[in-house]
Structure 1
Amino acid sequence: MAEDFRTLLMETDRLPDGDRWFGDIQIGGWFYFSAQAGPYHESRPQTVLPDPMGYESFEVRLMTVQGVISYGRYGAWLDLQNKPWAKLFATERPTVLFAPDVPVATCQQIYEDLLHYARTNPLP
C-alpha cells in the first residue's frame, strides 16, 4: 500500500474569499493528481479544514504531465478507463478528467493505481 495521498497535499494558494488550493501531486513522469477540498470545491465537508485528513471526500482532477490524458500517444486513459473508479470521471477537456465528491478510500485507490501504472509503463 502506498503512502496516504492526503499526507502529500500542501496548500499552495488561499484567496481572500476563502478559496484554497492544494498543489498537484506528480506521479512519475506520467500524471498530475489534483485533490481539492473546501468551500468552492465539490468535497465533504465544503469548508476549509486545518488538516486534509479531516475530509471525507475530494474533488479530483487527473492530467498527464505531457498533456492529453484521454487519447493519443500519452492516452493513459485508454488503459485506466476500465478501473472501477473510472466511471466517476468526466472529460473536462482532452487534457483533464474531473470527478466531484470522491470518497477518500476511492481517492487512495486512484492514487495507487496511477502509481502502479507509472511504474509499469514507460513513457512513450
Structure 2
Amino acid sequence: MAEDFRTLLMETDRLVDGDRWFGDIQIGGWFYFSAQAGPFHESRPQTLQGPMGYESFELRLQGVQGVISYGRWGAWEELQNKPWAKLFTTTSPTVLFAPDVPVATCQEIYEDLLAYARTHPLP
C-alpha cells in the first residue's frame, strides 16, 4: 500500500473569502492528482479542516503533458476501465473532475495512478 495521499497535501493558497487550495501531487511524469476540500469544494465536510479531517474530496486528474482524456499517451484508455473511472466527467480534454469522492476511493485512485506510472514508461 502506498503512503496515504492526505499526508502529501500541502496548502498552497488561502483567499480572503476562506477558499483554500492544496497543491497538486505529481505522479511520475504522467499525472497531476488534485484533491481539494473545504467550503468552496464538493467535499465532506465543507468546512476548513486539515487534510485528515475530510471524509471525501473533490478530485481533478490531469496529464502532465496536457491531454488526459485521449491522445497519443493513451493513459485514460486503460484507466477508464477501473471501477472508480465512472465517477469522473471530462470538463475539458485536459481535466477529469469527480465531486465528493470518499477518502478510501481517493486512495485507490492514487495507488492505481502510481502503479500505472511505474509500469508504463513515458513515450
TM-score, L = length of structure 2: 0.99
The answer as to whether partners of 1:58 and 1:100 remain within 8 angstroms in 2 is yes
How far does residue 108 in structure 1 lie from its aligned partner after superposition? 0.0
Cα distance in 2 for residues equivalent to 1:73 and 1:38: 35
Residue 64 of structure 2 is matched in structure 1 by: 65
Q: Match for residue 21 of structure 1?
A: 21
CA offset digits 1:8-29 (Å, max 9, x no partner) = 0000000000000000000000
Please name the residue that 2:84 is paired with.
85
Letter in 1 for 2:13: D
Over aligned residues, Cα RMSD in angstroms? Answer: 0.5
**Residues of 1 paired with 2:73 and 2:21: CA distance?**
26
Report the CA distance between 1:73 and its aligned residue: 1.1
Unaligned runs of 5+ in 2: none
* Partner in structure 2 of residue 112 of structure 1: 111
User: d(CA) in 1 for partners of 2:73 and 2:110?
Assistant: 18
Counterpart position of 2:47: 47
List gaps (5 residues or longer) in structure 1: none
Give the 4+ runs in structure 1 shifted more than 2 A: none
Amino acid at match of 1:117: Y
Distance in 2, matches of 1:41 and 1:99, equals 11
- Alignment length (residue pairs): 123
Does structure 2 retain, via aligned residues, the 8 Å contact 1:64–1:74?
Answer: no
The alignment partner of 2:17 has SS state of: coil
TM-score normalized by the length of structure 1: 0.98
Identical amino acids, percent of aligned pairs: 86
2-structure distance, mates of 1:54, 1:16: 21
Retained in 2: the 8 A contact 1:68–1:75?
Answer: no
Which has the higher mean CA deviation after the structures are superposed, 70-79 or 37-46? 70-79
- Matched to 1:22, the amino acid is F
The one-letter code of the counterpart of 1:78 is E
